[in-house]
Structure 1
């Protein structure tokens, strides 16, 4: 039984009646038809950041009319959608939390590449797709695909605004027809590549290098998802150990394809970048709705990475490799969101942050996975009858000076759009790759890239991945939830 229970008590002529009726058959509430609907409503009523702005989440619903309201929805998905605040772009519901948890750990059915979609012209709905990067060991790499490869057709049909979701994201196998670009003209080829999705673990560290350019040593890190995984944390720590050993003077952090993830992991990365942090420095704070506000807590910088044994118990701490930087260059795009943006906001009060690329998504809110259990957490007593979970926005994030206003995204200091370079898209980490080249040019004082003419192509924002969120997975957040439920 849930600790926060929806109990209806009514007084009629001095007699207390429960919500199920009385001995005379007086019914005050119709029976609940779908227990998942009750879970969805109660969790949203307590934790949803915009609860006060949604009339159907009002506490006044918590009476004999609630079951009637819940029974008017045939599915939990339709109820959840109707409970969302009009400006909420980021909350979602799933019917299998195990698949959701796997995706947060970088494991999912995948073709092994990340792609971008481009509208060929403003007068047409036709699209072109290009490969941003391939995942080592995945189907795309095995098929010989590489960064910069272009295709316009899937299973023989032209990609369009109307069909790209079904063509690319609702199938586990398909055939791509490749194309090339010459003089801003797309040329079809006869080359076809067939792919089948497999369960694949993607390391968030796609690339890390020490680049020596004009006598300056620069650390380059392409980081593609904030995954709360101790082995990935240790690998990240080793990258910064190498940066320290090599004596790098600047870091270029490539977040252009990073849609977000773990808040804890973003704190770890920020702590490695800002090595001058004192115990009084914070990256930011979590702002909850009024029901949770009294449990608000600061997000202090971390000084160590937990190391766990095979049973998951903490056995020791691994000293953190930290850099003493006073500036950082961050590469961004319209795919940079959530925890990536929180890194930007959190570091700005402490360092000179230069953004290169295009405007970020604009997600200054955080979410948590809520389960149908007695405390809404995975650690509680789970309802065995289903695997539904919700991922609602429960907070807004502020940096150390209270800045929260980046809902329209962060604009770059230096604008570079990689789709203008699709005719010859350089490998990631190559000093001539346009976004990286701009950063190296500022660092060394030597311009390193020639700007092309605007291609006239328009990047299409692909439906967000489930990982495109700030996951409030720090221990303080479950403690806030438990405190709320138990008090």
Structure 2
């Protein structure tokens, strides 16, 4: 991570001559002037739409408000936090967590909020306490979830008592309900190293050996530990001589470009990796684009990211990827970047639709240090065929959907998304389940802060 941060520090000084700005034009105060001046300088250098950044920074606006006010009108992705340390830990996979990945829902005709466990990290306190995918939680530490308190309750430290509920569907009226089970599960939150490979397995059916891997987010881990583990899991699947591979990215919001690149190296046909073909191309603001071209050359790795031969090559001509509208950013980069070189069949629903990336910029190297971090949209990417701007997401080639209120275990061949992929592999017709229409019209989804970046659909350029 130190290398990662030093990159920004050295680049900032190299680009500093571009910034000629003044401060506090209104004279309305200086409480936030130092932080806002720092924000303004970084945004002037790195922001993809830097033409909207003002030449002067006020001292009377909070940093969060100033940052929000200067964003380009269509930018819903750039992010600021006053807790750089926590953010950097999360980027390395270290989170203060019980090991639950939650979805916060409510029924459209009722005010009641409830949490559904999308998945549980292996060997986490949550798994040890018996929580599992599909569990419904109605309260935290005795407080019923509501739209006004759920984010605060999700961030409670220490021991957390989850009040469980159950889901039911009236077959006659199609009315969905959750009811209190009067059961409590207590879980201790800890700093966890959350390995993004949740589960792998091999499914033998119809004369095929189908590998399955669920991947939660694109993170390297300290000293690339998660990448080593990913390669180990892929090598295990290859050793079992899988004919096909299904990668489950249905809840993957993105992550670091290095993780996506190394994953892609294992998936792309070996010839493309050996020839170092283009994986993705990056486009920046004119200042940054010119800086890279003049200082590093037109083939700079900051302009073109190429495949590299890695420790594992799956040796497949096609892969299946399970997707939903939570599949975002680096997940979409992986799919889009592989498409020019192999068949990538997407199963589920359209992805989120984000073709931008960010730098992580912190003020911790300032003197005195600033404990803020910003993640401005810094670049736009396209694949080797110049395909980008998929504003409505990458289209699912095979439609399938799950009932998040009553889901099958991850990797279960009866899970609707995986079942659709298997059916296509076996040459069978695929019929989409109809209950998703009912779910979509009666359930509201709320953003969560279980990961500071999760609702921002993120990918990070190193």
- Normalising by structure 2, report the TM-score: 0.83
Secondary structure of the equivalent of 1:291? Answer: helix
Shift of 1:105: 0.9
Q: Is the contact made by 1:210 and 1:217 (CA closer than 8 Å) also made in structure 2? A: yes
Please, which of 441, 466, 471 is the counterpart of residue 452 of structure 2? 466
The corresponding residue for 2:327 is 336
Unaligned ranges ≥5, structure 2: 1-8, 170-175, 294-302
Q: Is the contact made by 1:432 and 1:449 (CA closer than 8 Å) also made in structure 2? A: no
Unaligned ranges ≥5, structure 1: 10-18, 21-26, 305-319, 374-380, 474-487
Please, which of 122, 142, 161 is the counterpart of residue 136 of structure 1? 122
Q: Is the contact made by 2:218 and 2:330 (CA closer than 8 Å) also made in structure 1? A: yes
In 2, Cα distance between equivalents of 1:147 and 1:92: 29
* CA gap 1:335/1:28 in 2 versus in 1, 3 angstroms: closer
1:286 equivalenced with 2:286 (yes/no): no
1:98 equivalenced with 2:82 (yes/no): no
Q: Is the contact made by 2:400 and 2:432 (CA closer than 8 Å) also made in structure 1? A: no
In 2, Cα distance between equivalents of 1:432 and 1:8: 60
Please, which of 203, 218, 225 is the counterpart of residue 226 of structure 1? 218
- Normalising by structure 1, report the TM-score: 0.79
Secondary structure of the equivalent of 2:435? Answer: coil
In 1, Cα distance between equivalents of 2:138 and 2:349: 24
The corresponding residue for 1:215 is 207
The corresponding residue for 2:262 is 268
Shift of 1:82: 1.4
In 2, Cα distance between equivalents of 1:173 and 1:133: 20
The corresponding residue for 1:406 is 390
Secondary structure of the equivalent of 1:271? Answer: helix
Q: CA RMSD in A?
A: 2.9
In 2, Cα distance between equivalents of 1:129 and 1:435: 22
Secondary structure of the equivalent of 2:110? Answer: coil
The corresponding residue for 1:422 is 405
The number of residue pairs the alignment matches comes to 421
In 2, Cα distance between equivalents of 1:8 and 1:434: 56
The corresponding residue for 1:314 is none
5 Å-filtered alignment, 1:31-430, equals: 34-52=33-51, 54=52, 57-58=53-54, 61=55, 66=56, 69-73=57-61, 75-120=62-107, 122-169=108-155, 173-183=159-169, 184-229=176-221, 230-275=224-269, 276-277=271-272, 278-294=274-290, 295=292, 297-304=303-310, 320-372=311-363, 382-418=366-402, 420=403, 422-423=405-406, 425-430=407-412
Q: Is the contact made by 1:437 and 1:449 (CA closer than 8 Å) also made in structure 2? A: no
In 1, Cα distance between equivalents of 2:88 and 2:205: 41
Q: Is the contact made by 2:363 and 2:369 (CA closer than 8 Å) also made in structure 1? A: no
Q: Is the contact made by 1:421 and 1:452 (CA closer than 8 Å) also made in structure 2? A: no
* CA gap 1:30/1:433 in 2 versus in 1, 3 angstroms: closer
Which stretch of structure 1 is more off in the superposition, 147-156 or 453-462?
453-462
In 1, Cα distance between equivalents of 2:19 and 2:153: 47
